[in-house]
Amino acid sequence: MDADKKTGSAGKLNKTVRQTVCILLTILLTAWGFVHLSYMCRGYDKLMTFYGMEKDSCDTVFIGTSTTFSGIMPMDLYEQQGITSCIYATNMQFENSLKYSVREVLKTQKPKLLVIDIAPFVSGHHPAARGEDWHPENRELFIKFNIDSMKYSPGRAALIHEISEAVDADLPRRIYYHLDISRYHTNTPNRKHFDNAQYDIGKGFQYLSHDAGGKTVPEELGADDGSSMPLPETEQRYLEELAEEVQKLDCEVLFVFLPVYCNGEGWQRKNYTGEYLQSRGFAFHDFSREMEALGIDPETDFWGYNHLDSLGAAKATKRIGEYLTEHYVLPDRREDPACAWWTKELESWHKIKASNDDYDRKT
């Protein structure tokens, strides 16, 4: 009798374990399917190119915003200096997003050099900087730019929490930010984006055509007189957090501002941000002070005053490549068999670049 009872108890226990395992597997498979369906339906894909890069394939990674992805050409850097690089940047990247960008980059790349564009602090992208002047529709669009092509991760969840706190989002809105499939569920799933990744020969460079953002008239933008203006409290805190984040990294870090113009107090914000970073012991280089020497022309080289077109990006990239090789020890990968595919892509890159250049010259 006792043996029968034990056998019965063991059978019930095994059944319970099997049921529990089945339930857990069902939950995990459902979550896995939901995540990848979300990736395939996404309508904003700026970061997918970064996630599509081969693991540990870049000696340099650029982090920033639209000023960054339109102003740096990784394929030109490879052709001219042999530097393998890629870009992790979104439109209107918020100041507090930058530290999470650093963490995302280091999940799949081990760069010798991390280059961070300070443009978000110069333009004041964060809702705290824009205040009540920011139209709610624009605010929502720019929030989506920051989160909608990141992979699902604790870092993405933490960023969404920070943004939600900043805009005082209620619970339904917070859920909406987290579950971006609610915004894109009507899109036809793109199987190429199954893992939130896509191939792009530009390695993150995104072409912005000449004058599409408006004519660049330096006289209307004011001049950089070298003065500086402290950042508002919230943005200052984000700058300090970014400094703390990169202070502990094993790789070298360079902060930059590209050869573009600022508007109004942007010049002062730029100078303050650079000065603060240098006071913390970081390297900072302001390429905007070299525009004349680089031959960057407001008549031909801009999408809008703070973004370069293809012609301007080529000039900026040439100078950035020279600066990097002068100040950092970065291997020349042009003869590296592991990077032969970069060399093979140059012919296709030349055609893409020539087409962009021709369009810029005609407009």
Share of the chain above pLDDT 90, in %: 85
Residue 5 in any domain: the answer is no
Mean pLDDT of the chain, nearest integer: 93
> What are the pLDDT digits (tens) for 8-40?
565 666 778 888 999 999 999 999 999 999 999
Residue 60 in any domain: the answer is yes
> What are the pLDDT digits (tens) for 55-111?
999 999 999 999 999 999 999 999 999 999 999 999 999 999 999 999 999 999 999
3 pLDDT exceeds 70?
A: no
pLDDT tier at 168 (50, 70, 90 boundaries)? confident
Residue 26 in any domain: the answer is no
Share of the chain above pLDDT 70, in %: 95
> What are the pLDDT digits (tens) for 175-210?
999 999 988 989 999 999 999 999 999 999 999 999
pLDDT tier at 131 (50, 70, 90 boundaries)? low
Residue 103 in any domain: the answer is yes
What is the number of domains present in the chain? 1
Q: Mean pLDDT throughout 115-125?
A: 95
For residue 321, what are the domain limits?
A: 49-133+197-362
Residue 314 in any domain: the answer is yes
Q: Mean pLDDT throughout 263-278?
A: 95
Q: Mean pLDDT throughout 356-363?
A: 93
Q: Hey, how many other C-beta atoms are within 10 angstroms of the C-beta on 51?
A: 20
Residue 8 in any domain: the answer is no
Per DSSP, the residues of 139-200 read HHHHHHHHHTTSPSSHHHHHHHHHHHHHTT--HHHHHHHH-THHHHTTSPP-GGGTTS----
Of 7-11, 229-233, 288-292, the least confident: 7-11
65-78: b (≥16 Cβ within 10 Å) or e: bbbbbbbbbbbbbb
Residue 170 in any domain: the answer is no
Decide: 288 and 50 in contact? Cβ < 8 Å: no
pLDDT tier at 145 (50, 70, 90 boundaries)? very high
Residue 189 in any domain: the answer is no
- Looking at residue 51, its pLDDT comes to 97
Q: Packing angle between helix 154-166 and helix 171-178, nearest 10 degrees?
A: 140
Task: Give the CATH number for residue 94.
Answer: 3.40.50.1110
